[in-house]
Amino acid sequence: MNLYPKGYLQLMIAHSAQLAIETFRIHDLAHIKLFAGLMWRIAPGFHKEPQINAVLRRTDVPARDRFDRILQPDFADAWARATDLRGFRHWLPFAEAGFTDQDLDED
């Protein structure tokens, strides 16, 4: 059994950068890497947590300030909720990527 279907890992990597750049208008490499790192280390759907999402969507605010804000202690509960947004289906819509549950059973 594969951990991820063939090709899906590449999509996950590309999607993390694409989300940072296109959705949240993060354009400096350090913060793109931070965003992607949070997806890989905390939860791929961390950015969907409402409190975190509200800050990240403030594209009128520099990325550095947005990350400084969401990494403050008063966001601890938001991060606890964000950890529930784990699993490969939180990376990107599984079906839209052309995969099915059957792909998980293939070698």
Q: What is the pLDDT of residues 33-84, one digit of tens each?
A: 999 999 989 998 999 999 999 999 999 999 999 999 999 999 999 999 999 9
In a domain, 74, yes or no: yes
Count structural domains, the chain: 1
Residue 66 belongs to domain spanning: 8-89
In a domain, 81, yes or no: yes
In a domain, 34, yes or no: yes
In a domain, 48, yes or no: yes
In a domain, 1, yes or no: no
Res 3: pLDDT? 65
Q: What is the pLDDT of residues 18-30, one digit of tens each?
A: 999 999 999 999 9
Show Cβ contacts of residue 24 under 8 Å, excluding neighbours closer than 6 positions: 35, 47, 56, 57, 59, 63, 66
Res 106: pLDDT? 45
Res 76: pLDDT? 97
- The pTM assigned to this predicted structure is 0.77
